[in-house]
Structure 1
């Protein structure tokens, strides 16, 4: 193959040369992709074709011809891009510039998630996010990083306790995107991301296999930061705040322990039943910070539970909400941008699913995976920390955010799925 390979969308197959169920044909070092007209999942088929093109050893692609829609090009690009070539795509057509900008944001978020634990730790994810958003928004953003013992002074005890065992101190990053410059402008939306840059499981230690991919446990932070970036790129005129809850969940003599009780700023006490259910512990602080802004829309994203992966097979983002109108808007937004999402159960009574004799709640149940309904129970725990009984709050358990192994649709590593859905909601 040449350095850049042209990709054509064919209206019909030819007699020879087709590979992989008539998805891909190579003619004179050009790649032709064909999807059956009656396919139930044409965009998924195109993404699968993108994986096949990647498997041919192609380094860079450009779309050629008048047949391509923006959605079709994006599907192939998601399948084709992989570590080392996350932006190696040239789009065509009227939306070429928009697609190129979107791919750059996805590439940034995916690369951030793929970085090693040595490269990415709480202070560095905060710094990288600040630098990236500053490049896009300039003086329209201001930032505050609260780190280490300052977290205790300000009452952010969830983040502090999860991260206190690490040599790299935990932090809470607040990014205020305020395009009007008016300090009294209302906050239209808040985004909250789980930024666990490495998760050993703490004293509820993971197995070697279970720990291997845990550099990706900050995928929620990358997704919400990416969503804000895309919204800014598209001319966001609303004030939006971003909160990243960043920590390494490590083991030391200073680590938090099973049976510890943490008191949050809203007075809720929580007994630690599982140190490997740390994501919800840090997100509680971020949700409380978001609630203090008075924003009518609060969205959090996290690689939170294995239960969500089990429920969706890793193909969907798992959505939770107590506000069905907000959930319906999220489902509509996801459908609009072709990002798979599935709503799972959540009611107010899920708050009581992790009981404790020594506190208002535990963070989980001391049984494998937190027991039945683990993803809903985690969302129920989070719902204790949002205002207005959950009105305007959406919880994204991003089960599809990372793949430890390549599959028919995705390369190994981060996917960025749900970035555009969340960007659409805050726009």
Structure 2
């Protein structure tokens, strides 16, 4: 993982290059108040305060500064310094006025790269940002680390990240944070979590399914459960995907990656909660042992599920994990999953679909997303569509026959396995960025993580 700690440090008045943040609306006033040499160099570079514009400003005695365009002043957020961090040379930098605050995250993540499979290159020197608010430094660094963990896990090809490898990542996290970990596999999984076992039964033995659980925190503290879909690779099963649909299915464990990243942040920041992390992890493979369309799977809850499509497997493993989470009487359950293409059709890649059975929880998550620059969009748990999951021979089906409302019916399926008196939110996230922007390279991405972190850190503020 990228070492972010040295890239954001307390400002002790040491020499540093100044960064002027300039927005479009304030550009003319800013330019008018600059010395002639700065006006000339800014105009020569066509600088107008547009987002991601950077101009090098000549100073006296060989010194220089940089003007960084931020587009709209009211749009200042996590990414307004990312282009500068990617572009400027090695050195120390401070803002001409104010503190980087949330923009420090983009500065840090501009240094992120996933180069596990690339030939080594000479590294660029670090671009260090000075902060006048040292109390925020650790949180920003840990937020960058959580994001990088999500990206690293999602970017890793399925050949190198099967269920055992997710277990290894979880064990490493538990050891790092002083948490307890348990893993259910084999016969115990088949008996206790039959839908997880059923989805993963077609995989080879070295990629056998399992349920990973981590417990951390004071048992007397409010109990919070995080559940993450860990499908390491999704062929679609016997309802096999076309090659175009299978190409990115290494990212189908993106929910698990989000949960591990968020859990790391919670534990590092020592939020006063009793944390219960549940990661059902499988490979949905094609083989003679794979589960079939028309099969009936019994769930941990006791409900029977008719399989209408083996490519709707994520909701099955989540159903058993959500049931287990509810058995410990948490006051809050959050689940993350790369669950449906329907959510992407409705909202595109950047907006995770939020479903919640509690209006206050939904409002707090939406506010957390807005305030952290990590937006969500609420979708309805529409009771009228519940009948779409009816089955003639089982308690419910795993898919609807109607080619509509796929994200809604998937969320309604999950709701069947959540206790009605527990506040629950489901985030259907893409976990991927299809093109690069500063600080946000193409590949695995944490979408919804900062929104959830903001909710949790406000609801359960750290005492440290």
TM-score, normalization by structure 2: 0.80
Gap change, CA 1:259 and 1:90, over 3 Å in 2:
farther
Partner residue in 2 for 1:43: 77
Q: Distance in 1 between matches of 2:194 and 2:416?
A: 16
Gap change, CA 1:68 and 1:277, over 3 Å in 2:
same
Q: Kindly report which structure 2 residues correspond to 1:28-427, keeping only aligned pairs within 5 A, or say none.
A: 32-36=67-71, 38=72, 41-43=75-77, 46-47=79-80, 50=82, 54=86, 63-65=93-95, 66-78=97-109, 81-84=112-115, 90-93=128-131, 94=133, 95-135=136-176, 137-138=177-178, 141-154=179-192, 156-167=193-204, 168-178=207-217, 180=218, 185=220, 188-366=223-401, 371-388=403-420, 391-399=422-430, 401-406=431-436, 410-426=440-456, 427=460
Gap change, CA 1:351 and 1:90, over 3 Å in 2:
farther
Q: Distance in 2 between matches of 1:317 and 1:88?
A: 33
CA shift digits 1:46-103 (9 cap, x unpaired): 45x635864x5x7978642344421122245456644349x97644311233212221
Q: What secondary structure is seen at the aligned counterpart in 1 of 2:153? A: helix
Q: State whether residues 316 and 341 of structure 1, in contact with CA within 8 Å, keep that contact through their aligned partners in structure 2.
A: yes
Q: What secondary structure is seen at the aligned counterpart in 2 of 1:228? A: helix
Gap change, CA 1:282 and 1:31, over 3 Å in 2:
farther
Q: C-alpha displacement at 1:421, in angstroms?
A: 2.4
Q: C-alpha displacement at 1:332, in angstroms?
A: 2.1
Q: C-alpha displacement at 1:187, in angstroms?
A: 5.3
Q: State whether residues 183 and 211 of structure 2, in contact with CA within 8 Å, keep that contact through their aligned partners in structure 1.
A: yes
Q: State whether residues 195 and 218 of structure 1, in contact with CA within 8 Å, keep that contact through their aligned partners in structure 2.
A: yes
Q: C-alpha displacement at 1:249, in angstroms?
A: 0.7
Give the alignment's Cα RMSD to 1 decimal: 2.8
CA shift digits 1:315-338 (9 cap, x unpaired): 212100122122112212222322
Rg larger for: 2
Q: Distance in 1 between matches of 2:164 and 2:100?
A: 41
Aligned pair count?
405
TM-score, normalization by structure 1: 0.86
Gap change, CA 1:97 and 1:281, over 3 Å in 2:
same
Q: Distance in 2 between matches of 1:60 and 1:398?
A: 35
Q: State whether residues 322 and 348 of structure 1, in contact with CA within 8 Å, keep that contact through their aligned partners in structure 2.
A: no
Q: What secondary structure is seen at the aligned counterpart in 2 of 1:275? A: coil
Q: What secondary structure is seen at the aligned counterpart in 1 of 2:203? A: coil
Q: State whether residues 195 and 247 of structure 1, in contact with CA within 8 Å, keep that contact through their aligned partners in structure 2.
A: yes
More displaced, 337-346 or 59-68?
59-68
Q: State whether residues 190 and 198 of structure 2, in contact with CA within 8 Å, keep that contact through their aligned partners in structure 1.
A: no
